[in-house]
Amino acid sequence: MVVAGSSEAQLLNSSCMKPKRPQDESMLIYIVLISVSLLTAFLNLLVIISISHFKQLHTPTNLLLLSLAVSDFFEGLLFFFQIMLIDGCWFLGDLTCTLYQYLAYIITSTSVGNMVLISIDRHVAICYPLHYSTQITQKKVKICVCLCWICSVIFETLILQDVLQEPGRFNSCVGQCVIVINYIAGVADVIFSFIAPITVIVVLYMRVFVVAVTQARAMRSHIATVTQRSVKVTAKKSELKAARTLGVVIVVFLMCLCPYYCVALTGQDNVMNASSFVICLYYFNACLNPVIYALFYPWFRKTIKLIVTLKILQPDSCETNIL
């Protein structure tokens, strides 16, 4: 993916030149990146199947994780096409290049939107626990997820309308895959796809962290209470654990996304291979999310065993007790 360059004149000076690497080094790079691409798609497919198949996992929070897994799955597939640009050249034609870039922009925007929704979900669950069940319902979450995807498609279509109307218009030679958007569209993309959502995520999770620490102290001081209150404490512990796990997901996401946009903001990202590392780092985040789930969510480890052993094909397997 390439984020805004502001001058066509700068682009015309660029050319498709493959960097000189030893053959063994190039082969190793290709093998590693292809493996990451396939692993990313496979792991996120496991998340998608797990949450979709088992009814016990049909919760508002997991529906948000499902949407994130779908976007991460497509990132894994798109990363496969990004691999050929490591050497700076694209051989699938201008139309395919434009389609690839368009989908990459949409998936990036949707991933950020999913992170915002997850932050809102955890904020309500931790800061307003008594209102969570009424404010955050499956129906509302489904509507928000659909709006997130639809808004991403509409927004990125407007941002890339010039490129979509004339694929390959910014290429100066055969084999380039370059997208340049005008200054206003570039500023809008950075604000609405990075600065604004990241600000919302950080502010909400800072409040979640403060409230979570306060609640954890309160639970420790009231650990020996009546049975009814103990049930409430257990519920709070569950919410706090979910907040901690999703907090890790968000922090890792920010660590992978920020370098990508920092390079974009320098204005030196007109040529694909100029930012190959940060682009690969961003795509690699999609592979890390399922790994985090496996480390922190026992239900995910259990569903993986059921999927790999094909036990989900058994009748009524969707009713299996996972939690």
Q: 198: closest CA among 258, 249, 147, 154?
A: 258
Model-level pTM greater than 0.85? no
Torsion of CA 206, 212, 218, 220, to 10 degrees: -130
Please tell me the predicted confidence (pLDDT) of residue 225. 54
Please tell me the predicted confidence (pLDDT) of residue 233. 46
Please tell me the predicted confidence (pLDDT) of residue 221. 65
Please tell me the predicted confidence (pLDDT) of residue 5. 40
Domains of the chain: 22-319 (1.20.1070.10)
Cβ 190 vs Cβ 265: under 8 Å: yes
Cβ 269 vs Cβ 3: under 8 Å: yes
Instruction: Show the tokens assigned to 300.
Output: 């995910």
Residue type, 91: F
Sequence-distant (6+) residues with CB within 8 A of 303 are: 46, 49, 50, 53, 54, 57, 322
Over range 100-105, report the average pLDDT: 88
**Which tens digits make up the pLDDT trace of 172-186?**
666 667 777 777 887
**Which tens digits make up the pLDDT trace of 293-319?**
888 888 888 999 999 888 888 888 888
d(C-alpha 21, C-alpha 44), whole Å: 32
- DSSP letters of 73-139? HHHHHHHHHHGGGGGT---S-HHHHHHHHHHHHHHHHHHHHHHHHHHHHHHHHHHSHHHHHHHS-HH
Residue environment code for 179-215, b if the CB has 16+ CB neighbours within 10 A, otherwise e: bbbeeebbebbbebbbeebbebbeebbeebeebbeeb
314 three-class SS:
coil
Looking at the chain, the number of H-run helices and the number of E-run strands are 12, 0
